[in-house]
Structure 1
């Protein structure tokens, strides 16, 4: 269980840095630890010119889940390009939902235990 909590913490850190990169000045986060899964609710504002970056995030999160890839590569990723980090996040989560319009991004991530 400790290992999965570390992964959740890393996901939060990566997404927070991404939010700063898109001009966010109002970031909120809610994390729920349910019996069988973690649910992460993230919300932030963003500046108008950043929708291309958000589209890259969406594409990267659409990667198919891969337990072996998750275990092997997460620790190696470090501070590499964000596209790689987000692809790893996509591989790690079991489901996600994202909406962005009118300068408000809402992201829900689900990670099964």
Structure 2
């Protein structure tokens, strides 16, 4: 007798994302990947802050914001400027690299 588990089709994580979120290149998938990167950025900030033995309040003082702003940033970097992110990493004495990818359309500067 086959068990329920044996009947289940094995899928990779990418296949599951394709099926449940959307294939790569779709608006839904792009939004998911973007949001995931922002969540990871917040976690990275928290991790580096803790490695530097700083409280949220201390980091906030270093960049001129309230503790609550640092808390929000660590939970989600969705509503923050690049300038603020750069200030945070400078205060943490950590390097950050941004990558900008251009799509295949022509890019012109007027």
| TM-score bracket, shorter-length normalisation | 0.3 to 0.5
Task: Specify which structure has the higher proportion of helix.
Answer: 2
Give the TM-score of the pair, scaled to structure 2.
0.33
Considering only CA atoms, is the larger Rg found in Structure 1 or Structure 2? 2
Give the TM-score, by structure 1 length: 0.33
Higher relative contact order (CA 8 A, sep 6+): 1
Specify which structure has the higher proportion of strand.
Answer: 1
